Amino acid sequence: MSVDRDLVLKVDNLQTQFDLGRRIVRAVNGVSFEVRKGRTLGVVGESGCGKSVTAHSILQLLPKLGHITNGSITYYADGKETVLSKLKKNGSEMRSIRGKEIGMIFQDPMASLNPVYTIGNQICENILQHERISKQEAIDRAVEMLTLLGIPRAASRLKDYPHQFSGGMKQRVMIAIAMVCNPRLVIADEPTTALDVTIQAQILELMKSMQQRLGTSIILITHNMGIVADMADDIAVMYMGRIVEFGSVRQVLGSPRHPYTKALLHSVPTLGIGKHERLATIRGNTPDPSDMPPGCEFAPRCDFATDACQTVPAETDLGGGHRVRCWNCQGG
């Protein structure tokens, strides 16, 4: 059986849970998607819907209380398949892939960068961990990467500590660490959350230019539909651990089918709104993940719920890769 050369990552029926004493939190519940070479998958949804846990599951970065209970995560490179979900999280094979083949831009650079080590030390550590080159060669590559990311006086700034950088500069450093080994896949977990809109636009433009230069695939995790519209090729809309709608940007944003996707799009602020007009919101709150309602998780907040929603809907293929999990879409 030949392997699709454009396929980089395949997640199939992934289930991840956290055991909290008597409570079990099923943070990811049957998630499936594929990532292809040079493309960007946007994963969107409210906070707590399982986006970051999905990313951490891929890289085996779950805390002690979390573990994968079912499904598979398969990474493809040079005609070889590696089932990441079967590897030991701290084993040599997983560590050889993490940071080299798959990079990660974490959500909060303030918490991710070590305050007692210089920026140069933290970038070079990733290079020296994965490649047999001299320390000077690693320093030269770190300088080159920081220069590409628009950090002035890159050589001298390698000696600085994280607290000497602004928020936007720290995020650039996180991108440098994630991409300095030219990974085939980068997972960006809310990479612009704490940045103002000007710096946000610069960071996204940097990621796009790096992707075009290196042919990198990206999984972009965000709650910002505007960023997804600008950056992504495909979109996975998540709600309470499930992908409720999946498709291309044109399909999902141009012709949304799931009520949750429609509600997210309606809640996006638009230019020209009157000062007396209220922003659209999604009524209700997300349920307790350890005590989920029966059936469709979105039903208690959905304006179109029926009795059929008391059972979990099957996924419906709408054609062209567009699929949705909703009883109102059964039959196409």
pLDDT tens for each residue of 305-330: 888 999 999 899 999 999 999 998 87
Is the pLDDT assigned to residue 271 strictly greater than 70?
no
Assess whether pLDDT exceeds 60 at residue 332. no
The answer on 64 and 144 residing in a single domain is no
Confidence of residue 11 (pLDDT cuts 50, 70, 90): very high
| Domain co-membership, 313 together with 268 | yes
Predicted confidence at residue 331, as pLDDT, reads 56
Instruction: Examine the domain organization and report whether 263 and 324 are in the same domain.
Output: yes
User: Does residue 319 sit in the same domain as residue 198?
Assistant: yes
For the chain, what is the HEC assignment? Answer: CCCCCCEEEEEEEEEEEEEECCEEEEEEEEEEEEEECCCEEEEECCCCCCHHHHHHHHCCCCCCCEEEEEEEEEEEECCEEEEHHHCCCCCHHHHHHECCCEEEECCCHHHHCCCCCCHHHHHHHHHHHHCCCCHHHHHHHHHHHHHHCCCCCHHHHCCCCHHHCCHHHHHHHHHHHHHCCCCCEEEEECCCCCCCHHHHHHHHHHHHHHHHHHCCEEEEEECCHHHHHHHCCEEEEEECCEEEEEEEHHHHHHCCCCHHHHHHHHCCCCCCCCCCCCCCCCCCCCCCCCCCCCCCCCHHHCCCCCHHHHCCCCCEEEECCEEECCHHHCCC
Per-residue CA distances from 78 to 8, 123, 168, 188, 302 (Å): 10, 26, 35, 23, 45
CATH label of the domain that carries residue 265? 3.40.50.300
Domains of the chain: total: 2
In a domain, 1, yes or no: no
The confidence band for 3, taking pLDDT boundaries of 50, 70 and 90, is low
% of the chain surpassing 90 pLDDT: 60
Residue 282 has pLDDT above 90, yes or no: no
The answer to whether the CB of 42 falls within 8 A of the CB of 35 is no
Mean pLDDT for 140-165 is: 92
Q: What pLDDT, on the 0 to 100 scale, is given for residue 274? A: 67
Look at residue 315 and tell me if it is in a domain. yes
If one compares 217 and 194, the residue with the highest pLDDT of the two is 217
Question: What pLDDT score was predicted for residue 2?
Answer: 53
Whose tokens are 């949705």? That residue is 324
Q: State the pLDDT at residue 248.
A: 96
Domain with 207 in it: 7-101+183-329
Is 72 within the bounds of a domain? yes
- Classify 51 as helix, strand or coil: helix
Q: What is the pLDDT of residue 102?
A: 95
pLDDT digits (tens, 9 = 90+) for 20-62: 888 889 999 999 999 999 999 999 998 889 999 999 999 999 9
Residue 30 in any domain: the answer is yes
Amino acid 61: pLDDT: 93
Let me know whether 63 and 90 are in one domain.
yes
What average pLDDT score do residues 229-244 get? 94
